[in-house]
Amino acid sequence: MIDILLTPIILVIVLVMMHAWFGMGILKRGIIFTDLAIAQFAALGSAISLGYFHQEYYYLLTLAFALISAFLIAFASSRKLNLEAFIGLLYVLGASGIMMVLSHSSEGMEHFKSLLASDILFTPSDAVMQSALIYALIALVLYFVYPRLNGFIKELTFFSLLALTVTSSVSLAGVLVVFVLLIAPALVATSLDLKRPLLGSFFFGWAFSIGAIVLSYFYDLPTGYTIVFLGALLSSLLVLVSSKKA
């Protein structure tokens, strides 16, 4: 049992740490569905790779589409428009594009399901190590370079690094898992008004993710969807309990 669970547990530990930091930034900007739109565009790139190129150029196309959406959101952030509505349009654009691309593929719906939430219980350890290396490089840029930037360049860097993070995450975990790991830990930590919200978001994200992996193993449930369900359920309850009357 330990051999099977160890790799996915290591994966979610790394995923939570990266995504919780970006989740804090997204909540501060008040554009909650940014990550979902970028993840959907990344998924569109991978769908194009499957539908038209027999999974060749998979990472390149996934990253390219994620970066396109990141640039559009960063540019829209500097304009006077309803940003949340614009991001919503990007999301449905990516989602409808995926269905159009995969409509003629015999494996289309199976691939679509894995794009939403993968069964990370069987993620290869080499894929985890590769993504961990990418996340480490992103973390170095966030620590040493990002704080020195200003204005549009800083926003573009934020969304570009988020796109790079999401590119790896979508292929490993799926769009919905990426969304819940970005939003749920950050939302709970800020709602509880913790002294160290980032650290609190780490522990909450680790708790429901690892708990979901164990549940999916013992009850033969789809791991990705179990993470999404448990994360959304627990975070919703905690936010409601800790909130005050309007």
The string of DSSP codes covering 90-142 is HHHHHHHHHHHHHTT-TTHHHHHHHHHS--GGG--HHHHHHHHHHHHHHHHHH
pLDDT value of position 147: 93
Residue carrying structure tokens 């990344």:
42
Is residue 117 a part of any domain in this protein? yes
Count of the separate structural domains present in the chain: 1
Is residue 245 a part of any domain in this protein? no
What distance, in Å, lies between the first and last C-alpha atoms of the chain? 47
The answer to whether 91 touches 33, Cβ cutoff 8 Å, is: yes
- Looking up residue 26, the CATH number of its domain turns out to be 1.10.3470.10
What's 243's DSSP letter? P
pLDDT value of position 59: 86
Nearest Cα to 14, choosing from 181, 242, 200?
Answer: 181
Structure tokens that stand for 107 in this block: 């494996």
Contacts of 157 (CB under 8 A, 6+ apart): 141, 145, 146, 149
Is residue 217 a part of any domain in this protein? yes
Is residue 246 a part of any domain in this protein? no
pLDDT value of position 240: 93
Nearest Cα to 73, choosing from 97, 100, 44, 40?
Answer: 40
Nearest Cα to 198, choosing from 22, 31, 32?
Answer: 22
Q: The dihedral of CA 179, 182, 185, 191: what is its sign?
A: negative
> Which structural domain range is residue 67 located in?
2-240
Residue carrying structure tokens 């930590």:
189
Is residue 183 a part of any domain in this protein? yes
pTM comes to 0.86
- The rounded distance, in Å, linking the Cα atoms of 57 and 47 is 11
Is residue 34 a part of any domain in this protein? yes
Is residue 213 a part of any domain in this protein? yes
Around Cβ 193, how many Cβ atoms within 10 Å?
9
pLDDT value of position 246: 66
Is residue 26 a part of any domain in this protein? yes
The 8 Å CB, 24+ separation contacts for 24-28 are 24/186, 24/189, 24/190, 24/197, 24/198, 24/201, 25/158, 26/182, 26/183, 26/186, 27/183, 27/186, 27/187, 27/190
Structure tokens that stand for 91 in this block: 């999301």
With a cut of 70, list the residues of the chain below it in pLDDT.
Answer: 1, 106, 108-109, 246
